[in-house]
């Protein structure tokens, strides 16, 4: 309600083409001797956009939330930056639901996500409720695709079966900790013979699929953060398929982005470490690398990560408090971006015209609720007075303060607010 009351206040290039994943021919009876695969020196550089690089065509970006809760303002800003980038380049904005966390994902959360994105005006070109040529757009409906690509990597020897129990893995971690080493997998099953593997399969021993990590380094040229590099020696062979047959997050994301022909991955900086595993999977599957752009986190006034303890943090909460969607969009866009002028008032169409990914700041942006209220007041004043009166009446009715949203009482109260 306070938000509505502000009306009287002062205050290297890899061009992407449309790609449909080719059918995978699997030879299930063929066995590969794991000892044939030696760890080669490896160097991979994933290039990103710069002023000297030509734009890939077509531009395809995605917003991929998990339906495990409300849409956080940080997620909303990521969606907004993807939307603005796609619209400014004449590209495609894809919505993909990452619901592989079966225990926490709910239909109610997914519906709330879709509702909040629609309320903000961030319509998607492909995704749930819209369809598209690259569906399905929920990860829970794409399991057969993940299994196909996992089998392809197993056939090529870039993935192997690991029969280690949870107890063995915990012991490896303890030993590494005592030796002050990274808690990486020791590679016990990396060079197992066919006979050893067949013996465990015959016994019905559960197994995971582990990716063979080569030696060397990996670099990416992030659009926002510049060059980022990792040593692969600290990674260790990682799991892409669990023993229950479910794929892990990094494998799903890579397969999805590749088979959906995503050209630019614009996401929060907390996903930057995931890029290491994903880049290796891209390379192993022979897919071109997308451009990466990792956006800094939204911070609380004390410069910690913005969370529930700092008050309202979800889009739905701000909507219920009476904030306008155009004010939320305007404010979120300014958290880490600007057009280089002193102007702070933008409509969504103006943001599309002005937005460039190169002007996104790599430093964290502080969420200022006072500034958001001021911004909301600016957008309220830009609306016709009768429209604002209707908004206030609707909000009072939705809050249970009134049984009707129009009438003399609303008009009198609106006049008193504006006077």
Q: Return the structure tokens found at 65.
A: 């939330």
Cα–Cα distance for residue pair 106/419, rounded to 1 Å = 46
- In three state form, how does the secondary structure of 153-215 look? HHHHCCEEEECCCHHHHHHHHHHHHHCCCCCCCCCCCCCCCHHHHHHHHHHCCCCEEEECCCE
Contacts of 242-247 with C-beta under 8 Å, sequence gap 24+, read 242/208, 243/206, 243/207, 243/208, 245/147, 246/100, 246/143, 247/100, 247/143, 247/146, 247/147, 247/150
**DSSP assignments along 342-403, one per residue:** S-----HHHHHHH--GGG--SS-EE--HHHHHHHHHHHHHTS-HHHHHHHHHHHHHHTTS-S
Q: How far is CA 344 from the centre of its chain?
A: 26
Annotated catalytic residue, options 45, 219, 308, 362: 308
Structure tokens given for 63: 């917003």
List C-alpha distances in Å: 4 to 194, 326, 344: 70, 13, 20
Cα–Cα nearest to 317, from 365, 267, 390, 369? 369
Q: Cα angle at 334 between 333 and 337, to 5 degrees? A: 90
Burial of 333 per CB tally in 10 Å (0-12, 13-18, 19+):
buried
Measured CA to CA, the distance from residue 161 to residue 47 in angstroms comes to 32
* Rounded alpha-carbon distances, angstroms, from residue 339 to 278, 343, 353: 32, 8, 10
d(C-alpha 155, C-alpha 159), whole Å: 8
Please state, in angstroms and rounded to a whole number, the distance separating the CA atoms of residues 100 and 146. Answer: 12
Say whether 107 is catalytic.
no
Contact between 183 and 173 under an 8 Å Cβ cutoff? The reply is yes
Instruction: Provide the annotated active-site residues.
Output: 308
């Amino acid at each position: 309600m306070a938000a509505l009351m502000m009306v009287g206040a002062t205050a290297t290039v890899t061009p992407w083409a449309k790609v449909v994943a080719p059918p995978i021919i699997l030879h299930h009876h063929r066995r590969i001797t794991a000892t044939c695969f030696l760890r080669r020196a490896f160097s991979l550089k994933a290039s990103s956009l710069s002023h000297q690089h030509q734009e890939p065509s077509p531009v395809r970006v995605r917003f991929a939330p998990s339906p495990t809760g409300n849409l956080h303002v940080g997620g909303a800003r990521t969606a907004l930056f993807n939307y603005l980038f796609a619209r400014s380049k004449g590209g495609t904005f894809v919505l993909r639901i990452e619901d592989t966390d079966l225990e926490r994902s709910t239909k109610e959360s997914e519906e709330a996500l879709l509702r909040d994105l629609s309320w903000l005006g961030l319509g998607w070109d492909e995704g749930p409720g819209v369809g598209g040529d690259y569906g399905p757009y929920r990860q829970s409906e794409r399991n057969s695709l993940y299994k196909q690509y996992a089998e392809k990597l197993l056939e090529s020897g870039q993935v192997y079966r690991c029969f280690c129990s949870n107890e063995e893995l915990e012991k490896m971690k303890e030993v590494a900790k005592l030796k002050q080493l990274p808690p990486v997998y020791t590679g016990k099953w990396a060079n197992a013979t066919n006979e050893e593997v067949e013996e465990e399969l015959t016994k019905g021993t559960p197994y995971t699929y582990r990716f063979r990590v080569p030696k060397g380094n990996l670099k990416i040229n992030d659009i926002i953060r510049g060059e980022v590099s990792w040593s692969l020696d600290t990674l260790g062979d990682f799991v892409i398929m669990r023993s229950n047959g479910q794929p892990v997050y990094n494998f799903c994301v890579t397969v999805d982005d590749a088979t959906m022909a995503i050209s630019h991955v614009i996401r929060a900086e907390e996903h930057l470490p995931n890029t290491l595993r994903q880049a290796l999977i891209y390379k192993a599957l022979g897919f071109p690398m997308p451009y990466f752009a990792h956006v800094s986190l939204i911070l609380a006034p004390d410069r910690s990560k913005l969370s529930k303890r700092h008050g309202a943090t979800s889009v739905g909460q701000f909507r219920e408090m009476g904030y306008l969607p155009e004010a939320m969009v305007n404010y979120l866009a300014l958290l880490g971006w600007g057009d280089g002028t002193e102007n702070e008032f933008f409509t969504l169409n103006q943001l599309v015209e002005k937005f460039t990914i190169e002007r996104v700041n790599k430093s964290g942006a502080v969420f200022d609720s006072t500034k958001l209220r001021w911004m909301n007041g600016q957008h309220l004043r830009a609306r016709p007075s009768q429209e604002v009166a209707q908004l206030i009446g609707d909000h009072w009715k939705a809050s249970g303060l009134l049984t009707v949203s129009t009438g003399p009482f609303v008009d009198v109260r609106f006049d008193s607010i504006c006077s």
